[in-house]
Every structure is written in C-alpha cells, then in structure tokens.
Chains A and B, each alone.
Chain A
Amino acid sequence: MIRLIGILVGLGFTSAVLWAFGVGAYTFATEPAEETAEHAFHLHPKDVSFPSDGPFGKFDRRELQRGYQVYKEVCAACHGLHLVAFRDLEALGYSEAQVKAAAAEWTVPGIDPNTGEATTRPGVPTDYFPSPYANDTAARAANNNAIPPDLSLITKARHDGGAYLYSLLTGYSEMPAEMAAEFPEFSTPTGLYFNRYFPNLNLAMPPPLSEGQVTYADGTEATVEQMSKDVSAFLIWAAEPTLEKRLQTGWAVIGFLLFATVLAWFAKQQVWAPLKPKKKA
C-alpha cells in the first residue's frame, strides 16, 4: 500500500516537473535569449598577483605603506574604512610614534569638553578611520545618487577581490568600436563611466587615478598601474589584517596533523595486526 502511494506521489512530482521542463524547453527553443552587451563585453579580472596570495603569502610592508598613501590622498575623499583603526597601521611597519602622527593627520568627530557640543578633533591611535560623509543621504547627494562603498572589506566582498579592484582601477576605456556596432542601443549615461570590468559596464566612480597623482615617499614612480596595485594590496590587508598569522598558524597545524596522521596509521596497523587474514601459502 505504502509503495503504491509512493509511486503515485513520485509520478505526481515527476509530471509537474517534466511539464515545467516541456514548457521551458519549448520557450527556450522558440524564443532564444537575446545576447546582452553586459554579457558579451564584460571582462574577468586581469591576471595580477599579490605578495599575499597563496599558502605562503606575506604582506610587503613597503607596498602596504604606498597603498595607504594612495588611500589617504585619493580614495579617502569618498570612501570610508570604518572597520580599521589607526592603531592597526602599526602592522604596516610604522612605529608607535609614526602611528600617533599619522592618526593626528585625520580629523575625527568629537565632543567639546566644555560645552558638550559636537565638534571635531585630530585623531588618536584608538580612533577608527572617519567616514567622509555625515550619512548615506549626504553621500548620495555628493555622488550623483551613488553611495561610494566603505572599503574595509571590499576585497572579501567581491569575487577575486584584489585582482578585481586592480582591474577596475586600471580598466577605464573608450567603448570598443565593435561593441558600438553590435549593440547600438548601449550607451553610457552622463555621470557614469565605461569600464569593462564592472558587471553592468557603467561605473558611477570617475577614473580616480592619473599618472603621478601621488608622490611616493620611497621614490617609486606613481603610474596608474603602480598606484592601483599598491592600494589593492593595502585593501587586501585592511579586509583581513590577520592573513599572515592565519597562514603561519596553518602550516604549524598541518605539520602537526601530518605527524599525528602517521602515528594514527601505525597505531591502527599495530592494533589490527593480529586480526589480519593470514596469506595462504
């Protein structure tokens, strides 16, 4: 009885889903999906590597310092970094005094000790990076109705984080001629910028970097590629400052576990030895 009911229920689900398949297949065959410009001309991130990649990854402190400089002088005008504190900058190779000085270069919201009024004061190491806008409405108003995302986790919040960021920053271009020919209705609205690494090809952020925009303290030439790479590396660090510790711990754990696995194998072999079937001569 239960099997009979089972077969009926099974055939019920099967008919419903096969009916859906039939309708879907018919639609698929008679109305082929139209190719979109976003699908045809979107590019995957460029093939770029960072010192922090892979199981032996390490941060390059000088690269991170240059990246911090790019963030401070360019990105910070529109993008926050609210999960990172100034004290965290010591991980970039700065001394305590340097961090104190770096924090003081930033203006953070404060309270006037005498009146209790809202005011601003220079940052101290325990402060977090301040947001460039008072609120989301202000951010929208200043940016053509697009909120510049906070960058604290940006490299973990996008597929291929660092490479994606680098590609986006170096990926502004003119619309290719063949694309204009193939998709004449595709256009980049005023206030948006064509970028083939962005999913819908139209990015609200104007090209932020230009040759020599920052003057690196270490004398590195500030090309767009160099600055993009440095700031991407900096933001990989900002998204996961514990990356190096994670990899180092990982190797110690794997090493121990390999040893433990070998021991466990021999222990098992020894325990089972008397029970193994004897080979017949």
Chain B
Amino acid sequence: MSFPWAKPYEPKAPLMRYLDEKLPLPRLVFNAIGAGYPVPRNLSYMWNFGVLAGFCLVLQIVTGIILAMHYAPNAAVAFNSTEHIMRDVNWGWMLRYAHANGASAFFVVIYLHIFRGFFYGSYKPPREMVWLLGVVIFLLLMATAFMGYVLPWGQMSFWGAKVITGLFGAIPLVGEPLQIWLLGGFAPDNAALNRFFSLHYLLPFVIVGAVILHIWALHIPGSSNPTGVEVKTESDTVPFHPYFTAKDGFGLAVFLLLYCTMLFFLPNALGHPDNYIPANPMATPAHIVPEWYFWPFYAILRAFTVDFILPAKLWGVLAMFASILVWFFLPWLDKSPVRSGHYRPLFRKFFVVLVIDMGFLFWLGGAAAEEPYVMMSQIATAYYFLHFLVILPIISMIERPDPLPFSITEAVLGSDDDKAVLATTPAS
C-alpha cells in the first residue's frame, strides 16, 4: 500500500519490462525503497538509523559467514582457532575486529533507533505492529549477540554464559532442569558451545525475516515524522529515492567514519581483557561483566539484592526480562493522541530523565557489584519501571499538548496552500 500519488513503476528498457512480467522484483524494490515510496519530507537525521541498522545486519552476516569458514566450534580448539584467524588468516584480524566492533555499532544504532521511537511516539497507532516487530528484533539481536560473545571461548565468554544461563535456575521448580537442558550439561562446555554456534549462525537469518516484516508493516501506514502529524497531501512527501537515499548515504558515510575509527584504532576498547585468557572453569574472574550493550539490563538484574516476598534472584530475573517486555505494551500505556515529543512539554521533561536514567544504568551495569554502585542502580531501576509503567500512563492522561502544525508542509515551509483550500471546503 502507498499514497495515491506514489510514482508508478514504468520500466522502459525491454529487459526490465520482460523481468517485470516474469518476476517483478525490480518493481518491489522500486516501491519499497525507490522512487515509488513517498516519505514525509521533514525526516531528520534521527530517521537514518533504520537504514544503518539494516547495513549493520548485512555487515555482520557477511563478516560472520567468512569468520565461520575459519572458526572451529569445539571447546578444545575454539580459542586457538580465533587466534588463528587473528594471526594466520589473510585479513583475518580485520574480519574479526569488524565483526566484534560491528556488534557494538549495531547496538549503538539500535539504541538510537529505539530512543528515536520513544521520543517521537513511533509506537503509537497506526504503527503498533511496526513497534512490536521491532522489539522482537531487539530480543533476537540480544540473543544472537550473547551467543556470539561465547564463541571465542575466553574467560568472559565462559563465565558470561554461566551467569546468563544460570538465570534460568531462578525459575521455581523447573529452573534447574531447564538450565541443564539448555546447556546440555551442568556447566557450559562443548555441548553448549556447539549449540550456541549453531544458533548464532541461524538467528541472523531469523532477524532478516523479522526485518522484512518490520519494513512491510511500516510501509502500510508509511514512515512517521518529527511533527507526528500524518501525511495529508502530496506536498508533505518526497520520493524515497533520490531524497532519502542521498540523506541516508551521507549518514552512512559518517557512521562508517566512526565505526572504522573504532575498528582500526581502538579495536579492543569495548571488549574485556579477560576474554584474551582461555576459558577456565576453575578460575572465576574478579568481575564478571557482559558486553557493554547489556549493561543497563545487567544493572537491573543485580539491583534486586534482598528477598521481598519472592527470592531476590527471581525478582532480578523477572525485572530484567520485564524491563524489555514492557516495551511491547507501550502503545497501550501511552494513550496521548499526540505522537511527537516536540509538542508534549511534560512528556519531554520525563523523556530527558529517562535518557539520563538509562545513561546511569549503562554505567552501573559495567561497575563493580559494590556500594555505592548497587544503591545507585537500585534508584535508577526504580525510576526505569516508574517511568514506563506509572509516569507515562499518567502523563498521557493529564498533559495538555502544545498546538500542532496543520501539516508537515506547514511545519517545513511556514505555510501550506492546501490549508486555505481545506478550510473552505466542508469536511467529508
């Protein structure tokens, strides 16, 4: 579906006409990300991150498949095969650093994409399905990244796997058998490493499928925009190509500059030195920490230190999962009819607090599990849940939004000729 003024696909070259009759793939591309997809003309650079996330996914799949040609998923040789890639495989060091830093870049982009959604109310009708699929993609991404970090079989790989799978042990009754079943043993070993490798190879393609659904669902109402006012007329939109291919092209170039700076000059800055020590089940590292992109959720997990009706560990596990699952309910928790935070003065203040709170959770998840960090993470966790489950619903009931512009065109140009026309014709 698209707007009635979307440019029709009219192939001129005989080959393209032939192809359009037999397999209209070029038509699909034209209508999805070409000149046939009208997009609000006022999209800011915050709308770049969807395309960038798609780029990261392709980057991870390509580098990952090549790495898999040289890697051996066996606990006896996995660590050394990773070093074989670093030392002996042609450009292997670049592939591995590209893949490891690619995961970090992917999460940077995804977090910005999600927070863009928070601020501009991208989860609101008619785009709930786009949002729900997005949260599914994020969960798949976390699972994939977690299993990928286990593969080099260093100390943090092993102990991270042990801690995270140990979380299932907190589930009453079935926890322990479930944990043993998931790991294929009492602790992470060859069985776990093998299945993690298998799933780490599978899940990215599941993500590709989910991304296709995500984009499909997006193309039914069309992209949202910074004003949150829906598209009214043709003058509100521009064709995706060339306008946003050009804008995304510049965004991609800036992204690559930052990413390549990390890759070539600080390739281990985001990793943990302990992962260059081979996995040793007999030696526990001083501080077990996951990769940085899990820190907010790790901070929430560790914040529940005292039994409160339920055991503390179960609270932690429930809270960690709930902290992401709550995103699924956002479209129904925030009922404000105004989408964009630009026109929601009260929401905007709390959004800033949420960003600061997330910043704290990021920092505290990587900090040692000692005071005063634990107390700080408890306050930050309390705010996190209050924000989504209590503050947002209440704001959406009591807030008086600022006046919205008549249309996207008016927001961009200061006036909209259609406004006068529409004002004189009675609403149909």
Contact = CB atoms under 8 A, between A and B. Distances in A.
A136 to B, nearest CB: 10
Given A268-B247, A275-B243, A277-B414, A257 B256 contact: yes
B382 A258 contact: no
A21 B379 contact: yes
Interface string A138-179: 000000000001001100111101000000000000000000
Contacts of B265: 55, 247, 250
B41 A156 contact: no
Given A10-B388, A28-B372, A261 B250 contact: yes
B378 A241 contact: no
A36 to B, nearest CB: 12
B80 interface: yes
B333 A19 contact: no
B302 to A, nearest CB: 10
A13 B303 CA distance: 11
B246 A272 contact: yes
A246 B93 contact: yes
A111 interface: no
Contacts of A7: 389-390, 393
The interface residues of chain A, by DSSP majority, are classed as helix
B94 interface: yes
B260 A19 contact: no
Interface string A240-266: 111001110111011001101100110
Given A156-B276, A242-B87, A271 B393 contact: no
Interface stretch (B27-35, B168-176, B305-313): B305-313
A253 B260 contact: yes
B315 A16 contact: yes
B254 A23 contact: no
Interface string A1-40: 0110011011101111111110111001000010000000
Q: How large is the interface on B (under 10, 10 to 19, 20 to 34, 35 or more residues)?
A: 35 or more
A83 interface: yes
Interface stretch (B9-17, B105-113, B195-203, B266-274): B266-274
B119 interface: no
Interface in B66-109: 80, 83, 86-87, 93-94, 97
Given A10-B390, A156-B268, A2 B329 contact: yes
Given A13-B322, A23-B306, A250 B87 contact: no
Contacts of B164: none
A201 to B, nearest CB: 14
Q: Which 7 A-B pairs have the closest CB atoms?
A: A10-B389, A250-B264, A21-B378, A157-B276, A261-B253, A271-B246, A20-B306
Interface of B: 41, 80, 83, 86-87, 93-94, 97, 238, 242-243, 246-247, 249-250, 252-254, 256-257, 260-261, 263-265, 267-268, 273-274, 276-277, 286, 303-306, 308-310, 312, 315, 318-319, 322, 326, 329, 332-333, 335, 370-372, 374-375, 378-379, 381-382, 385-386, 388-390, 393, 412-414
9 contacts: A17-B315, A20-B305, A24-B306, A24-B374, A161-B273, A258-B257, A260-B256, A264-B246, A272-B246
Given A6-B333, A261-B250, 20 more contacts: A2-B329, A6-B388, A10-B386, A13-B319, A13-B382, A13-B385, A13-B389, A14-B382, A17-B381, A19-B306, A21-B379, A21-B382, A83-B80, A199-B286, A246-B267, A250-B260, A261-B254, A264-B249, A267-B249, A268-B247
